[in-house]
């Protein structure tokens, strides 16, 4: 049985020492001091370790079953969902006007890491609901908010996102689901949606589907799309549940992983739906949900790696195999533990330095969301730029990291018993859903980079430049952190410059390098986070912390990242600068 | 249903145009001309496409079942195994003295790619048998050879390798299986072995287990280990089958992939066994099997990627989604095919350029084996050096490549229906078995690099130097192929130099960089193969080939590799030169 222990100390370090929540913080959130966030994280960790993590492998092996048109979740899921609701976790960062606790998004992201690491498939039921909550909160009428939000905040009702159809995923302009207006202002929705996570299950009284469909009179392509609220059970005037709507589960998919989450084919056969937001402006409303979902998936990507890493580290300390090249480390035992071997260390350090950097980056991103919600335009621009980077890079690297953790187990990692295969199979989806990572790269290079005249990327460069200048004379940090960060940031700027010079003449010159650019950006962003963490660790040490070992470990782990991961930016730059020619030279038939 | 078409034309290019089998070739193998090898590859391709490939997804979904102590293979496997035997494929490169066809190993490797790509799990039953055949062929007595080899050449009897025990895989010195000598010269074998591929099944009359065990009087650790032949059914003097031996299946493992192959826990309860090779020298005999198995696994690694790539390329040509940034490519259709998008191209080019380079490298390696079998000491030294590189690098990159192919399918790649998940899950094992890739890196840096005073690596460098000198003035190749190959080779030499300077003082300085060195070496080796392929393509074009498009595509694909993959050597070198300090700095408790 895999282990999981919430890394409360590491999360606290980011929230309190790096982001300094109480100081820099969020107006109206004066409660976010060290004791408070620790209590929240501890409670989340307890639920995760005691209830969610033990169900992770159960969910994988049992999967979801479609029985007489209803999806049955794995044994224990329903009780765990009740525990999550009772703990108030589903309401944590929701609006108090609808029963939420009004905590900032960054705290939801921190507890989100914990819940995802313990059981990603389980946590999706709540995660999807939160996305649907946000869309209704942002675009719904007062009546819609009153009807749906309180029940969704409590997760008595859960939510879904219905975008994909058999013939289209990324290219939503092609979608065929139709919405026919009715006399009473409602619509009848007809069509088939696929890959609908949490599409049906037995843990909620009602399921609120948000469905993209084409209503008459819209333009071609994405311009004709609107978003509709389609509840599984219609809701009466008094809020009680009425008749079953004409939406049904066609099938559940057999997938590589996240077996504990029901991925459904949903059939809408003239189901009653209500417009959410403006007619023919469904994409805009959908993107409210999507941007949040993308950050959620970024968290999923690295959180799977956190769980996998904890098990790999434990195994490496316990499993006796071979002897250290520098002399027996465990002379009284039959062999030394795996962790004495440099290549096992290399793997664990790769994982550890990525995970901790990713955590800081994801939480910084969540903090930017909070600032953006409070009207900070700069933060809004920055997180809009960073969203595809976080989604694409953290999920790609999170998957790689889980694969490395599995590798530490050797053959024992390949059998299902130890759960390492599951971490890899589960992590794999994060590179695909909510916009496959190639689409994130396209979004970054094709849209976000040049948005508002390139202002946001310039602000990012300026922020790093200022940071480097501030710490240039800090002898303890300059060589190990500032110099490599500067070099990596320069690679990123050169790449952006290359795109600017070339893209006007040939957009393919930029698009051919988009994936490398997303990774280059991710490396620099994590490098920047490590430099900030190093500053925070140094400050704690200089202030005479009683926990010096913790902060020294941060510095050592950060140095590893700067020395052995960050130099990858140079290779990305070389690839980018090779332009479109090598990528586009072959005819389609030559493949 | 996934497609598979044997890439006969590409295999022929390597065998005939690059390796030039009939010319440079193998004494006693004058038959290896273009028509002959084409006929062999076509026949293998027909069996693969028509019989093996359709069973691939069946094997994955049904898996193997243990019923009353006997393993049942998936539906259709037995008939397919008969077809493979009838076609003589199991005997292809075996010794004619025992019913083999006496073809060279390189031809077995080429057909091996085809069979593995079509169905890796199925092909393992034969592959393991071949390994056991080789060990008995090299180390058996005449009587043992007469008893076992003809039946194993025909695969009427199959073979297994029994190394791993629950508490030890890599560190075989810890093994506990005991061999007790009997009056009649036989031994009684007792112990438990795990992860035994093809350990039991219903497709052969008998199964010949080769088992590592400790007989009395041996030294500590690996020195006390001997290798034993332990048949499932004892063999009578006249060659007929006698009573059932005391070896049984304890369980079959539930694995991430290769479900069609039975991975067994084998219990030896005083089973009758016979010494193979010298007493207490079992490791030596085992390595005959192991080195061959490692090359076989290298083939598996890139072959899974071949199959995955073919499906990704087909999907990218068919699936309509989005529009080309440079203007609609399919204006009369609802959208353009995926393949117009630069990032999809980037992914397909990454896959294609890796696969074709890997194929050349694997077949060159197989050709070196043939030359080594014929007494060529230089070839023997070279393949001994290259074996860990081929195993480690081709399986790591083969897995990555399969993941990229899966990614092209978006959400459709994550559901099991299209078979893309299976390619990834199957490929994953190749990084683990026959020595996890970290162990390959250790073998390379800790043993092979310095073997015979470093003579083999020097020979490799010299070979590349000579090649570069020969083609330095070839204007058509110099800039695109020779210059980048030189630069990459220089990185490899710098890394080897770093190890030499450091390893004596601190072995961890070399071992911390071992994994990067294995990849660096793999990159250079594939770069070298691409340069050789470019020369061959150029020659064909200069000679006025009627198939210019084929050779131009080779040059374009090779240029892509040199421009966008090979530069990775620089990052590997930087990591290596950072030495042991960042890798080893933390205490075990800090993880």
End-to-end Cα spacing for chain A: 44
pLDDT tens digits, one per residue of A205-246: 999 999 999 999 988 888 889 999 999 999 999 999 999 999
Q: How far is residue B70's CA from residue A109's CA, in Å, rounded to a whole number?
A: 50
Q: Decide: residue B304, CB within 10 A, 0-12 exposed, 13-18 middle, 19+ buried.
A: buried
Strand-pairing partners, residue A190, are: A178, A269
pLDDT on residue A220: 84
Fold: same for A8-138 and A155-281? no
Q: How far is residue B368's CA from residue B383's CA, in Å, rounded to a whole number?
A: 6
Strand-pairing partners, residue B71, are: B66
Given A86, A434, A581, A589, the catalytic residue = A434
Q: What is the DSSP string of A420-440?
A: HHHHHHHHHHHTTSSS-HHHH
Domain range A155-281, its CATH number among 2.60.40.10, 3.10.20.30, 2.40.110.20, 1.10.150.110? 2.40.110.20
Q: What is the DSSP string of B280-330?
A: T-HHHHHHHHHHHHHHHHHHHHHHHHHHHHHHHHHHHHH-B-S--TTS-SS
Under 8 Å CB-to-CB from A454, ≥6 apart: which residues? Answer: A500
3-state helix, strand, coil split of chain B in percent (to 5) is 60, 15, 25
Has domain A8-138 been given CATH number 2.40.100.10? no
pLDDT on residue A582: 95
Distance from CA of B461 to the nearest CA of A (A): 23
Minimum Cα–Cα distance from B561: chain A residue: A582
pLDDT tens digits, one per residue of A534-570: 999 999 999 999 999 999 999 999 999 999 999 999 9
Domain residue spans in chain A? 8-138, 155-281, 436-583
Minimum Cα–Cα distance from A309: chain B residue: B591
> Which two structure tokens, joined as six digits, stand for A272?
């009653």
Centroid of chain to Cα B333: 43
Identify the residue whose tokens are 């009004």: A102
Chain-chain contact of A567 with B574 (C-beta, under 8 angstroms)? yes
Nearest to A511 among B343, B557, B585 (CB): B343
Nearest to B588 among A317, A325, A571 (CB): A317
Q: How far is residue B386's CA from residue B369's CA, in Å, rounded to a whole number?
A: 11
Band (B26; pLDDT cuts 50, 70, 90): confident
Q: Which residues in chain B touch residue A559, judged by CB atoms under 8 angstroms apart?
A: 582, 585
Chain-chain contact of A563 with B570 (C-beta, under 8 angstroms)? no
pLDDT tens digits, one per residue of A461-505: 999 999 999 999 999 899 999 999 999 999 999 999 999 999 888
- CA-CA-CA-CA torsion for B236, B239, B244, B246, nearest 10 degrees? 80
For chain B, give the number of residues.
591
- Kindly tell me the sign of the dihedral angle through the C-alpha atoms of B441, B444, B447, B450: negative
Q: How far is residue B533's CA from residue B352's CA, in Å, rounded to a whole number?
A: 14
pLDDT on residue B339: 97
Band (A151; pLDDT cuts 50, 70, 90): very high
Chain-chain contact of A325 with B507 (C-beta, under 8 angstroms)? yes
pLDDT higher than 80, residue B156? yes
**Catalytic annotation present for A434:** yes
What backbone torsions phi and psi does residue A232 show, to the nearest 5 degrees? -60, -50
- Whole-number mean pLDDT of chain A? 96
Q: Work out the average pLDDT over B566-590.
A: 97
Rounded alpha-carbon distances, angstroms, from residue A265 to A66, A194, A195, A249, B77: 11, 4, 6, 6, 33
Cβ A3 vs Cβ A54: under 8 Å: no
Cβ B208 vs Cβ B152: under 8 Å: yes
3-state helix, strand, coil split of chain A in percent (to 5) is 60, 15, 25
| Per-residue exposure over A489-500, b if at least 16 CB sit within 10 Å of its own CB, e if not | bebbbebbebbe
Band (B30; pLDDT cuts 50, 70, 90): confident
Distance from CA of B565 to the nearest CA of A (A): 8
Rounded alpha-carbon distances, angstroms, from residue A505 to A500, A580, B326, B344, B441: 10, 12, 10, 21, 45
Q: Which residues in chain A touch residue B343, judged by CB atoms under 8 angstroms apart?
A: 438, 441-442, 511-512, 514-515
Q: Work out the average pLDDT over B236-240.
A: 95
Q: Work out the average pLDDT over A391-410.
A: 98
| Complex ipTM more than 0.85, yes or no | yes
Given B434, B462, B552, B581, the catalytic residue = B434
Chain-chain contact of B556 with A585 (C-beta, under 8 angstroms)? yes
Minimum Cα–Cα distance from B255: chain A residue: A415
pLDDT on residue B286: 85
Chain-chain contact of A507 with B325 (C-beta, under 8 angstroms)? yes
Question: Maximum Cα–Cα distance for chain A, whole Å?
Answer: 84
pLDDT higher than 70, residue B450? yes
Q: Lowest-confidence range among A152-161, A216-225, A314-323, B527-536?
A: A216-225
For chain A, give the number of residues.
591
Band (A73; pLDDT cuts 50, 70, 90): very high
Q: Which residues in chain B touch residue A553, judged by CB atoms under 8 angstroms apart?
A: 586, 590
Q: Which residues in chain B touch residue A417, judged by CB atoms under 8 angstroms apart?
A: 253-254
Q: What is the DSSP string of A391-404?
A: HHHHHHHHHHHHHH
Distance from CA of B96 to the nearest CA of A (A): 36
Q: Work out the average pLDDT over B500-515.
A: 93
The alpha-carbon radius of gyration of chain B (Å, integer) is 24
pLDDT on residue A25: 65
Q: Please name the CATH architecture into which domain B159-281 falls.
A: Beta Barrel (2.40)
pLDDT tens digits, one per residue of A82-117: 999 999 999 999 999 999 999 999 999 999 999 999
pLDDT higher than 70, residue B25? no
pLDDT higher than 80, residue A289? no
H or E segment to which residue B212 belongs:
strand B206-214
pLDDT on residue A259: 98
Q: How far is residue A83's CA from residue B330's CA, in Å, rounded to a whole number?
A: 53
Cβ A172 vs Cβ B410: under 8 Å: no
Q: How far is residue A438's CA from residue A431's CA, in Å, rounded to a whole number?
A: 9
Identify the residue whose tokens are 């290769």: B258
Minimum Cα–Cα distance from A569: chain B residue: B571
Nearest to A416 among B254, B410, B556 (CB): B254
Q: How far is residue B364's CA from residue B543's CA, in Å, rounded to a whole number?
A: 24
pLDDT higher than 80, residue A30? no
pLDDT higher than 90, residue A24? no
Minimum Cα–Cα distance from A221: chain B residue: B334
Say how many C-beta atoms besides its own lie within 10 A of residue A146's C-beta: 13
The alpha-carbon radius of gyration of chain A (Å, integer) is 24
Chain-chain contact of A342 with B567 (C-beta, under 8 angstroms)? no
Q: Which residues in chain B touch residue A395, judged by CB atoms under 8 angstroms apart?
A: none
Q: Which of A256, A444, A514 to mutate to test the interface with B (most CBs of B within 10 A)?
A: A256
Q: Which residues in chain A touch residue B411, judged by CB atoms under 8 angstroms apart?
A: 164, 169, 194-195, 432-433, 436
Under 8 Å CB-to-CB from B160, ≥6 apart: which residues? Answer: B128, B132, B196, B197, B198, B199, B207, B208, B209, B210, B266
Chain-chain contact of B410 with A425 (C-beta, under 8 angstroms)? no
What backbone torsions phi and psi does residue B186 show, to the nearest 5 degrees? -85, 180
Distance from CA of A579 to the nearest CA of B (A): 10
Q: Which residues in chain A touch residue B337, judged by CB atoms under 8 angstroms apart?
A: 588
Distance from CA of B57 to the nearest CA of A (A): 13
Chain-chain contact of B415 with A255 (C-beta, under 8 angstroms)? yes
Query: Between β-strands A65-67 and A70-72, what pairing exists: parallel, antiparallel or unpaired?
Result: antiparallel
Strand-pairing partners, residue A189, are: A179, A271
């Amino acid at each position: 049985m895999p282990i999981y222990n919430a890394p409360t100390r590491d999360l606290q370090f980011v929230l309190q020492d790096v982001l300094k929540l109480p100081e820099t913080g969020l107006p109206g959130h004066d409660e976010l001091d060290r004791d408070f966030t620790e209590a929240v994280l501890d409670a989340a960790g307890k639920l995760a370790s005691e209830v969610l993590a033990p169900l992770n492998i159960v969910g994988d092996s049992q999967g979801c079953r479609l029985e007489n048109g209803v999806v049955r979740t794995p044994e224990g899921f329903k009780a765990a969902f009740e525990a999550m609701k009772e703990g108030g976790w589903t309401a944590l960062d929701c609006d108090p006007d609808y029963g939420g606790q009004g905590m900032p998004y960054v705290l939801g992201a921190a507890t989100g890491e914990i819940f995802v690491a313990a059981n990603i498939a389980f946590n999706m039921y709540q995660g999807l609901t939160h996305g649907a909550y946000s869309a209704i909160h942002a675009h719904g009428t007062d009546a819609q908010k009153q009807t749906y939000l309180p029940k969704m905040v409590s997760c008595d009702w859960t939510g879904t996102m219905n975008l994909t159809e058999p013939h289209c995923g990324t290219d939503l302009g092609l979608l065929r689901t139709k919405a026919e207006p009715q006399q009473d202002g409602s619509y009848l929705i007809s069509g088939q949606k696929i890959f609908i996570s949490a599409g049906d299950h037995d843990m909620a009284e009602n399921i609120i589907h948000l469905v993209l469909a084409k209503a008459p009179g819209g333009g071609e392509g994405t311009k004709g799309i609107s978003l509709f609220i389609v509840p599984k059970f219609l809701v009466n005037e008094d809020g009680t549940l009425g008749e079953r709507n004409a939406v049904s589960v066609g099938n559940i998919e057999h997938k590589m992983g996240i077996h504990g989450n029901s991925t459904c084919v949903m059939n809408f056969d003239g189901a009653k739906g209500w417009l959410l937001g403006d007619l023919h402006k469904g994409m805009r409303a959908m993107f409210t949900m999507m941007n949040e979902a993308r950050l959620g998936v970024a968290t999923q990507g690295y959180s799977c790696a956190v769980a996998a890493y904890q098990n790999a580290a434990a195994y490496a300390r316990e499993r006796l195999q071979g002897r250290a090249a520098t002399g027996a480390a465990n002379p009284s035992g039959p062999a030394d533990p795996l962790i004495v071997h440099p290549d096992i260390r290399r793997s664990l350090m790769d994982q550890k330095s990525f995970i901790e950097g990713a955590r800081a980056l994801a939480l910084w991103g969540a903090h930017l969301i909070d600032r953006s919600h409070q009207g900070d335009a700069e933060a809004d621009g920055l997180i809009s730029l960073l969203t595809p980077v976080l989604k694409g890079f953290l999920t790609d690297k999170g998957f790689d990291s889980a694969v490395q953790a599995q590798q530490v187990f050797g053959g024992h990692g390949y059998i299902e018993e130890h759960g390492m295969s599951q971490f890899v199979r589960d992590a794999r989806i994060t590179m695909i859903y909510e916009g496959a990572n190639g689409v994130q790269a396209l979004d970054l290079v094709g849209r976000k980079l040049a948005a508002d005249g390139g202002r946001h990327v310039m602000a990012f460069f300026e922020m790093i430049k200022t940071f480097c200048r501030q710490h240039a004379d800090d002898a303890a940090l300059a060589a190990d952190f500032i110099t490599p960060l500067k070099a990596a940031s320069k690679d990123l700027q050169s790449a952006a410059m290359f795109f600017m010079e070339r893209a006007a003449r040939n957009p393919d010159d930029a698009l051919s390098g988009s994936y490398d650019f997303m990774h280059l950006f991710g490396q620099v962003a994590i490098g920047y986070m490590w430099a900030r963490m190093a500053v925070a660790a140094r400050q704690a040490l200089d202030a005479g912390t009683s926990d010096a070992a913790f902060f020294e470990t941060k510095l050592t782990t950060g140095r590893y990242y700067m020395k052995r991961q960050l130099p990858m930016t140079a290779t990305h730059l070389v690839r980018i600068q090779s332009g479109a020619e090598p990528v586009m030279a072959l005819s389609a038939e030559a493949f």
